[in-house]
Structure 1
Amino acid sequence: MEQKTCLVVDDSRVVRKVARKILEELGFACSEAEDGLKAMESCANSMPDAILLDWNMPVMSGIEFLRRLRKMTHGTTPKVVFCTTENDIAHIQEALAAGADEYIMKPFDNDIIQTKFMQVGLL
């Protein structure tokens, strides 16, 4: 079976590193982007199977990226899991309305990511 790909989008290098380690242990090939614009470029180049997406980033926020992603060719393909400190119901509803598949609170760990990725059918 072909290895699944995941794009980790977060302006924190530490968060990207931690998420990448977990995802690679789960068998994903990972790439990283530090803001929504870089993530757009990455997706235009090669659409991933999954996107772990931060909300608050410079240049282009996670929610703005998600809205644009879902309008791209094959942009509905990736499973998008928001990973953020924004945990109020309004943010969660906005994310889901924009096309997010799941929502993870920071700080996250291996179990949380594994559970959410299973729920959306990636594992």
Structure 2
Amino acid sequence: MSFPSIIMIDPSQEAAELARFALWRAGLHCDFRACSDLSAARRCLLQGRRQADGIVPSLILLESEMECGEGLELLRELRASKHLCCAPVVVFPSYETEGEREALAAGATEYLPKPVDGEHYARCVVEMVERWCDLSEAAAPLAEGVMAEALADLPGHPQRRREDGQPRGRRSH
């Protein structure tokens, strides 16, 4: 099973978590990775340029105003990469600036300032993924066992209890 690969390059952890939550809430299964700085983004994306098995992301969401505006420099590097030159990159700046022309000239597929409202932001992320990704597998129900396998290595969390004190999901006899 191959889920769409979404890479979000944004220094805001809150923006990345809201995007991840929006995709989950929409029922879209994606391989979502967030890079909070340009060096992490370069490692994540450009490492495949040196390795033949580099996977091309289905969508890259790029905050252009990172680290003194160097987000567009990363975009130019991505466009110069043989395996990333055609990956859709949406420049997704935090502030509506006059950077659309520069972003498109640097190779952006689309330029879309982030909505300020959280609900509108979440809807915008889902719409971008729906527009740019093949969702044939992303919207399909997960096969039994896939979620258990994915969660197997995660530490446990306290279960919420029903009003009768029993953990949810268990029936009292």
Question: Could you say which TM-score interval applies, normalised by the shorter chain?
Answer: 0.7 to 0.9
Distance in structure 2 (CA, Å) of the matches to 1:41 and 1:116:
24
How far apart are the structure 1 equivalents of 2:23 and 2:87? 15
Match of 2:122 in 1: 110
Q: Normalised by the size of structure 1, how large is the TM-score?
A: 0.82
CA offset digits 1:22-61 (Å, max 9, x no partner): 2344322111111222111101234322111111222872
Show the 5 A alignment for 1:24-103: 24=24, 25-45=27-47, 46=54, 47-58=56-67, 61-88=70-97, 90-103=98-111
- Structure with higher helix content: 1
Structure 1 unmatched runs, 5+:
none
Which one has the largest radius of gyration? 2
Give deviations 1:45-85, integer Å, cap 9, x for gaps: 34322111111222872111101111012121321111113
Q: How many residues align?
A: 122
With over 3 angstroms needed to count, the CA separation of the structure-2 counterparts of 1:101 and 1:19, relative to structure 1, is same
Give the alignment's TM-score, normalised by structure 2: 0.61
Q: Distance in 2 between matches of 1:55 and 1:103?
A: 10
Cα distance between partner residues in 2 of 1:38 and 1:60: 16
Could you tell me which amino acid in structure 1 is paired with residue 44 of structure 2? S
> Superposition RMSD on alpha carbons, in Å?
2.2
In structure 1, how many angstroms separate the alpha carbons of the residues matched to 2:69 and 2:100? 18
| Runs of 4+ in structure 1 over 4 Å off | none
The reply on whether 1:17 has 2:17 as its aligned counterpart is yes
